[in-house]
């Protein structure tokens, strides 16, 4: 039997993002084209100022383009309202940020439960899944600790667990090791690699760190707001 070809999970077509600053127009993305098939591990590389942050916002449905189309699981989301975007990204995309972005007043467990609240998951189910994910990332003893009581590596592991809360198809990692020492960064990358290999997650990693690209199956370079 012929092997079933994998579908594109994210497709970006001729996307421009222009910011107006006074009388000046700044083109952060200039006709970016990019697609990812389900189950891929793709690294988007690029120096500071290449448009990486804006690309993350587009790929992660955190913003809409000035012009161009964005397809997420074949649905065009380029012109949706924020409320619709929030629902879609909450189900399909899990985010890992360089700054961890944990809520300081919540415990590790509560931080992981939060995305599930927005998707209407019942409390007991939220609790059970948060505890399971924390055990999987090796933080069984830290469930009730707040972010300030955790090391940088532990905070990033909580952030990874949170990204998996709603069992998304895609993990979008923006400079995932940027605030970690090299040893802790390696642990985080090995965990992402495991999610890709064993859990069959689609991973999109945006980074300027060339040493991280070895984990990816495919590398794309971003320069002056477009993939080259």
Residue 122 has pLDDT above 90, yes or no: yes
pLDDT digits (tens, 9 = 90+) for 168-190: 999 999 999 988 888 888 888 99
The answer for residues whose C-beta is within 8 angstroms of residue 154's C-beta and 6 or more apart is 139, 142
Strands 24-37 and 8-21: antiparallel
For a pLDDT cut of 70, what percent of the chain falls above it? 98
Sign of CA dihedral 134, 137, 139, 144: negative
Per-residue model confidence as pLDDT tens digits over 32-54: 999 999 999 999 998 888 888 89
pLDDT in tens, 199-223: 999 999 999 888 888 899 999 999 8
Choice among 125-129, 159-163, 186-190 with the minimum mean pLDDT:
186-190
Which of the four pLDDT bands, split at 50, 70 and 90, describes residue 112?
Answer: very high
User: Considering all CA atoms of the chain, what is the largest pairwise distance in Å, rounded to the nearest integer?
Assistant: 60
Both tokens of 199, joined, read: 């859990």
Within a domain: residue 3? no
Range of the domain at 198: 8-227
Determine the pLDDT at residue 4: 56
CATH number at residue 58: 3.40.50.300
pTM: 0.90
Q: What does the pLDDT read at residue 33?
A: 95
User: What is the rounded distance in angstroms from the CA atom of residue 11 to the CA atom of residue 90?
Assistant: 18
Q: Is residue 194 part of a domain?
A: yes
Q: Is 47 exposed, middle or buried (0-12, 13-18, 19+ CB in 10 A)?
A: exposed
Who's near 73: CB < 8 A, 6+ residues apart? 7, 9, 92, 169
Q: Tell how strand 218-223 and strand 226-227 pair up.
A: antiparallel
For the chain, what percentages of helix, strand and coil (3-state, to nearest 5) are there?
35, 30, 35
8 A C-beta contact, residue 46 and residue 52? yes
Name the average pLDDT for the chain. Answer: 91
Residue 1 forms part of a structural domain:
no
- The answer as to whether 2 is a domain residue is no
Instruction: Give mean pLDDT, residues 121-145.
Output: 95
Does some domain include residue 86?
yes
Is 126 a domain residue? yes
Report long-range pairs for 179-187 (Cβ below 8 Å, ≥24 apart): 179/98, 179/99, 179/100, 179/152, 180/152, 180/153, 180/156, 181/152, 181/153, 184/151, 184/152, 184/153, 184/156, 185/212, 187/153
Instruction: Please count the structural domains in the chain.
Output: 1
pLDDT of the residue at 71:
92
Quick check: 226 and 29 in contact, CB under 8 A? yes
């Amino acid at each position: 039997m012929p092997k079933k070809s994998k579908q594109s999970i994210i497709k970006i077509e001729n996307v421009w993002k222009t910011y107006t600053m006074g009388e000046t127009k700044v083109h952060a993305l200039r006709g970016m084209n990019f697609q990812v098939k389900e189950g891929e591990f793709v690294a988007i590389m690029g120096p500071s100022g290449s448009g990486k942050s804006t690309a993350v916002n587009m790929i992660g449905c955190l913003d809409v383009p000035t012009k161009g189309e964005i397809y997420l699981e074949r649905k065009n989301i380029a012109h949706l309202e924020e409320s619709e975007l929030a629902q879609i990204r909450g189900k399909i995309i899990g985010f890992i940020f360089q700054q961890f972005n944990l809520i300081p007043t919540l415990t590790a467990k509560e931080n992981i439960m939060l995305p599930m609240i927005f998707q209407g998951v019942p409390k007991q189910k939220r609790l059970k899944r948060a505890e399971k994910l924390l055990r999987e990332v090796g933080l069984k003893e830290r469930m009730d600790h707040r972010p300030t009581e955790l090391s940088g590596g532990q905070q990033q592991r909580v952030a990874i667990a949170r990204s998996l809360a709603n069992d998304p198809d895609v993990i979008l990692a923006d400079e995932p090791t940027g605030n970690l020492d090299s040893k802790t960064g390696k642990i985080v990358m090995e965990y992402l690699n495991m999610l890709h290999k064993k859990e069959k997650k689609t991973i999109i990693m945006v980074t300027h760190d060339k040493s991280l690209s070895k984990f990816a199956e495919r590398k794309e370079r971003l320069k002056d707001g477009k993939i080259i």
